[in-house]
Each structure stands twice: as C-alpha cells, then as structure tokens.
Structure 1
Amino acid sequence: MSKLKSTLGIVAIAFITLTAVSCKDSKKEQESIDGHQSEMNSGEDHSKMNHDNSDGHHDGEKTEMAMGGHGTSEAVLNDYFNLKDALVADDNAKAKELGAIIATSFGNLDVSNYTDAQKASLKDIIEDAVEHAEHISESDIDHQREHFKILSKDVTDMVAITGTKNTLYQLFCPMYDGGSAWLSMSKEIKNPYYGSKMLKCGEVQKEIN
C-alpha cells in the first residue's frame, strides 16, 4: 500500500511538472506570437501613417509644387494654391489665415536677381498683392473672393516675370464679376469664386509653362 502511494505520488508530481512546463512553453509561444503580431501591427501602423500623410497631400496642391526655398516665387505659389483651396472649400477662417501667410510670402519675395525693369514691376506687384492678401486675412468670404480675383492677377503677373518650375493652368469663370481667372496646378475645375454653389463653373483658358 505504501509502495502504491509512493508510486501515485511520483506520477502526480510528474504530471504537475509536465503541466507546468507545458503551460510555460505555451505562454512563451503565445508571447512570441503576440510579439510578432505587435511588430506586424507596428509596421502596418507605420505604413498606414505614411499612406494617410500621402493621401492628405492630395487635398491641396502645395506638395505637388517643385518648391523653392523661403523668399521664392514658388513659395508664393504654394501659399496661393492653399488659399485657393480654402476658398474652394468655402472655409472663411482658413482663408483668413492663409491670406496673412501669403501677404508675408509676397513681402519676403527676393527680387535681387532680376533686371531693374523686372524689379520695378515685381515691387509694384508685391505692394498690390500684399494689400489684397491683408484684406483677405480680415474679411468675410464674399469679400475674400473679390480680393482673390485681383490677387490672382498679381500672381499671374509675377509668374510672367519669374517663370515657374511647374506647368500651371489659367482657369476662367465667365459668371463671377464679369469673368474672373485663377491659377491651378490641374486642369480640373474647382471654382474658388463660388465654391460649393457652382464648383464646376469654368474652363481652361491657357497653359503656363
């Protein structure tokens, strides 16, 4: 009887030991799987983050620009396209913010590398553009669009002197204020003068290289 108890005790201990080892191994395996999944998820999140950032860029045109540095005409164009997109989206607050930004960009435009005649023209353009951009930074959206029309003319005149690294399109809305033009990186019509009211009103007037 004593021998039987001893044998049963040994079997019980062996069973408990095997169970513990099995659980430990299982836990390690699960931790390994969880760790692998965590790494995969981290990679997926990183990939998703990059994808989301990439997608966000398509909302506007600034990242499509072959941008120059601070004080360049390309920087002015970048801010102009952002402002255009805000008006397309009927976003008065954003347009106010961007009006102030483009006023600063125009004020910082470096004209030192141009001829005297070009410098004189650019200084006139800058003075006029800053005035209208400042009005945009303080106005309701209807008034912003009135000043955007003149600002678009200033930007177009600037590009005629400075040139552009990108192909631009001059688009035209025959309905707004007797006919109004604006610049875009795309031929697609997204009207900044009417926004959601008449988003597709307009046509491609010319291509600027």
Structure 2
Amino acid sequence: MKNVILTLGIAAVFASCGSSNKSEEKAEQTTTAKSEQTAMEEEASSADKNADVSAVIEAYLSIKDALVNDDQETAASAGKTLANALGEMNMSQVAEDQTAEAKEIIDVAKNHGEHIAESEIDHQREHFEALGKDMKDLIAFTGTDRKLYQQYCPMYNDHKGGMWLSASEEIRNPLFGSKMLKCGKVEEVINL
C-alpha cells in the first residue's frame, strides 16, 4: 500500500511539473505571438506613414518635372494629386507638440497645390517656388523616403532667387523651364 501511495505521489509530482512546463511554454508562446503581432502592426503603421510621405513627395516631384518641361496640364494634374495627398496625410508620425505647426504647413502646401491645379504656367511656377519651402519644412517633421537636393536659382523673381527640391543632383530648373533650364546650383542635400 505504501508503495502504491508513494508511486501515486511521485506520478503526481511529475505530472504537475510537466503541466507547469507546458503552462510556461504556452505563456511564452502567447507573449512571443503578441510581440510579433505588435511589431507587425508597428511596421504596417510605419509603412502607411511612409506611403503618405512618399505620395506627397512623388506629387511634388511630378509638378517639378512638368514645369521643367513647360507642361502646364501635367503640372495642373500633379497639383491636384498633391493637394489630395496632403489632405489624406497621416499626422501620427509627427510629434504631438508639433502637430499644429505641421498641419498649418500642410494647409498652406495644399493651397499651393490647388492653385497649381487651376493656374496658368507662370502662376504655377510662383506657387511651386513657395511650395518648395513648405515641402522642406514638412519633411523636417515627417522625414523623407529618399535623398533630395535643395536647389537654388539666383535669377528667379528679378534676381531675388528661388528654390525647389529635386530627386536628382542635376539642375533642371522648373522655375524657368526651357528658358533657363540649367540655371541653379545645389544648396543642400536632404538625406533619408
């Protein structure tokens, strides 16, 4: 009888140790799964934010390229695309204490995009030049998904000068287009 009780006691100890290990394994698997899910959600959120920034930069660069080619219609279409992309931008990537300032920049940039969408080419170029400053300020809050070059032409606006951003180091002046295509210089490189 004592052997039966001792055997049952030992079996109970082993069984409880086994279930304790299984419980620990299950808890560890649950924690790992939650961590992986959180990481995937953060990556997805980051991808959404980067997609917003990317869409805005793409639209801006499309306006630039259209103006380089003296193409008013394509610039107008890209201006509309820019205004829409700015209107849909996710602000969660901007620090809470900077949200108001970033929203103000977005509103002004969106207004420039809307004007570019509805204007003649000379007026498009005026709004585009002002938009360059807004884009640089916005990128300071959101970051960029690519290397950009801040370029400057001293001849623009009766020698007051004008700046724009480009994805290429090569000067292709959107403020003058074919009139002075190579007027300008790189003033700053904006890295990722």
TM-score (norm 1): 0.65
Note the residue ranges of structure 2 that are not aligned, 5 or more in a row.
Answer: 1-46
Match of 2:185 in 1: 203
Show structure 1 runs of 4+ deviating over 4 A: 67-71
Q: Which has the larger radius of gyration?
A: 1
The correspondence for 2:58, drawn from 74, 78, 84, is 78
User: Matched residue of 2:137: which SS?
Assistant: helix
Residue 207 of structure 1, CA deviation: 0.7
Which structure has the higher relative contact order (CA within 8 Å, separation 6+)?
2
- Whichever residue aligns with residue 176 of structure 2, its letter is Y
Determine whether 1:142 maps to 2:127: no
Measured against aligned partners, the alpha-carbon deviations of 1:80-131 in whole angstroms (never above 9, x if no partner) come to 1111000000001111111111000111110023222221121001110111
The 1:167–1:130 alpha-carbon spacing in structure 2 relative to 1, beyond 3 Å, is same
* Percentage identity across paired residues of the two chains: 49
Distance 1:92 1:75, change over 3 A: same
Q: Which amino acid aligns with 1:203?
A: K
The residue that corresponds to 2:76 in the other structure is 96
How many residues of Structure 1 are paired with residues of Structure 2 in the alignment?
143
Deviations 1:6-47 (A, max 9, x none): xxxxxxxxxxxxxxxxxxxxxxxxxxxxxxxxxxxxxxxxxx
Q: How does 1:171-182 map to 2 (within 5 A)?
A: 171-177=151-157, 178-182=160-164
* Alignment-derived partner of residue 122 in structure 1: 102
Residues 49 and 90, structure 2, Cα contact 8 Å, conserved in 1: no
CA-to-partner distance for each residue in 1:145-167, whole Å, 9 max, x for gaps? 00001111111111111111321
Q: Write the mapping of 1:2-13 to structure 2, written as runs, cut at 5 A.
A: none
Out of 139, 142, 166, the position equivalent to 1:159 is: 139
Q: Is 1:184 equivalent to 2:159 in the alignment?
A: no
Task: Give the TM-score taking structure 2 as reference length.
Answer: 0.71
CA distance in 1, matches of 2:113, 2:78: 8
Counterpart-to-counterpart distance in 2, 1:131 and 1:172: 23
SS at match of 1:112: helix
- Counterpart residue identity of residue 147, structure 2: T
Q: Distance in 2 between matches of 1:68 and 1:180?
A: 32
Q: Secondary structure at the match of 1:82?
A: helix
Question: Matches of 1:205 and 1:183 in 2, distance apart?
Answer: 10
RMSD: 1.6
Name stretches of at least 5 consecutive residues in structure 1 with no aligned partner.
1-66
Q: CA deviation at 1:176?
A: 0.6
